[in-house]
Copies of this chain bind each other. A is one copy, B any other.
Amino acid sequence: MRAALPAIDAARLWRRTLALAEIGALPAGGVNRQALSDADIAAWRQMLQWGAEAGLEPACDLAGNLFLTLPGRDRTAAPVLAGSHLDSQPTGGKFDGAAGVMAALEAAATLAASPLPRARDLTVVAWMNEEGSRFAPGMMGSEAFAGVRSLAAIRAVRDAAGCSVADALDRLLATFPALPRRPLGPPAAAFLELHIEQGPLLEAAATQIGVVTGIQGKYTYEVEITGAEGHAGTLDMAERRDALAAFTRMAAQLYAQVGGADAIVKFTIGRLLVAPNAPSVVPARVTFRIDLRHPDAATLARLGARCEAICTEQAAQQAAPCAVAVTRLVDAPPNDFDVGLRTRIAAAAAGRGLSSMPILSAAGHDARHLATMCPTAMIFIPCRDGVSHAEHEYTSPEQLAAGTQVLSDVLAPLLATTSLEDPAP
């Protein structure tokens, strides 16, 4: 047996998680906490209070990331980071994002109160705007931190009401004038993120801990089809440049060839707008988004190219063809998480008598971007019926506590030394 690792306070963790869910609470039990909103600011206030109770040092950066640091002996050594995000989908649940932040806070509070030596800092982090519901696309905080996207580009993004990230971010920062500012993207020794699975696999396998192997790759395309408006009662079918008819041809091929490519691919057309969208007018323009995901980089690239080819081919296949423009908005290659950290997570689970299994993340997470700068891994916990991005999203107090205990147990030895090479249990 090794030196005893401290037990987290499962009751405190659950109480705080429910308290956080009161901020932006929705009638049906869910949460609407948009990035940089009043609710987001209220969540910061709550986090700062809990951080102070645990003796954590608060800070933020100019990208709107919130940090709560448990100091270690060597303040110059790269810290270990753990956390997730506080923002939610418009009709989101209590756990997507919040669970990871609360787990990291609980682990920090647990380790702060323990006699275990800490050679370096542990920093709890809440990344700004992971969801991208208000300001799209999301993962802004982690992208700015990792240098994947410039802060200037992020600040220029506007929400549907025309409000810029710049204005919303400056308002957030002005609300906390005394909060110390950190430079963007300091060195990080490692990053760990706990998250609900957002899928049914752990529940189906009755397994408590998912050791995330990586995140599947994702392409997002915006496709704009331009035809010509016409009177639904008078314009001959053969003369129509009907953008919705062109969409139908494209989509039929896309669902068949790309959506049916193999058993793993995920192909979604989730957003589609028709103009002028009047019942008696032949549609002049259709704009839609393709969300394509696959864990294999080569397959993803091949299917992405197929999407582009299908859109171009099908737009032309009409007596009076439509114009088409295909733009790739997101190109997120698949990534593999750090093998050393994955081994530590599996071992920590075993050390607590918890079942674990390797699992691929189908959804994107901030950890994707951290993985470009430091050893990174994720811990998944089950969620009921695999449901997420919905008000009835749920994970149990026991499941959340199990994942948080594993997180704490992985963090403890990482903090004990300033080298990641130190052997795990």
The interface of chain A, by Cβ under 8 A from chain B, is 133, 136, 197-200, 216, 218, 220, 229, 231-238, 242, 244-245, 248-249, 251-252, 255, 259-260, 263, 265-274, 277-283, 289, 291, 293, 362-364, 386, 388-390
Closest residue to A289 on the B side, CB-wise?
B279
Q: Is B266's CB under 8 angstroms from A237's CB? A: yes
Instruction: Known A198-B231, A234-B363; judge A270-B283 contact (CB<8 A).
Output: yes
**Cα A234 to Cα B293 with chains together (Å):** 9
A266 to B267, CA, bound (A): 33
Complex CA–CA separation, A220 to B279 (angstroms): 9
Q: Which of B198, B237, B265 contacts A234 (CB 8 A)?
A: B198
Contact B231 A389 (CB under 8 A): yes
A280 touches B268 (CB 8 A): yes
Complex: A388 Cα to B235 Cα, angstroms: 11
Q: How far is the CB of A214 from chain B (nearest CB, A)?
A: 13
- Can you list 30 pairs linking A and B with CB atoms under 8 Å apart? A133-B278, A198-B231, A198-B234, A200-B234, A229-B390, A231-B362, A231-B388, A232-B293, A233-B291, A233-B362, A234-B362, A234-B386, A234-B388, A236-B263, A237-B263, A244-B270, A245-B251, A245-B255, A248-B248, A248-B252, A252-B252, A268-B279, A270-B281, A270-B282, A270-B283, A271-B277, A272-B272, A273-B277, A279-B291, A281-B389
Q: Answer whether A270 and B266 are a contact pair too, CB < 8 Å, given A199-B231, A390-B229.
A: no
Contacts known (A280-B291, A291-B279); A233 close to B364, Cβ less than 8 A: yes
- Chain copies in complex: 2
Q: Is the Cβ of B274 less than 8 Å from the Cβ of A279?
A: no
> Across the interface, do B255 and A233 meet the contact criterion of CB distance under 8 Å?
no
B274 touches A271 (CB 8 A): yes
**B260 touching A237, Cβ below 8 Å:** yes
A269 to B277, CA, bound (A): 9
B363 touches A199 (CB 8 A): no
Contact in complex: B231, A244 (CB < 8 Å): no
Measured between beta carbons, the chain B residues less than 8 angstroms from A274 are 270-272
Partner of A235 from the list B133, B232, B260, B266 (CB cut-off 8 Å) is B266
Cα distance, A99 to B244, chains bound together (Å): 32
Q: Are A237 and B259 in contact (CB under 8 A)?
A: yes
A169 to B: closest C-beta gap in Å: 23
Contacts of A283 in B (CB 8 A): 269-270
| Cβ A270 vs Cβ B280 within 8 A | yes
Interface centre among A234, A259, A362, A390 (most CB of B within 10 A): A234
Q: Is the CB of B266 within 8 A of A233?
A: yes
Least CB distance, A79 to chain B, in whole angstroms: 30
Q: How far is the CB of A65 from chain B (nearest CB, A)?
A: 22
Bound CA span A283–B267, Å: 12
Chain B neighbourhood of A231, CB < 8 A: 198-199, 362-363, 388-389
Q: Which residues of B contact A199 (CB under 8 A)?
A: 231, 234-235
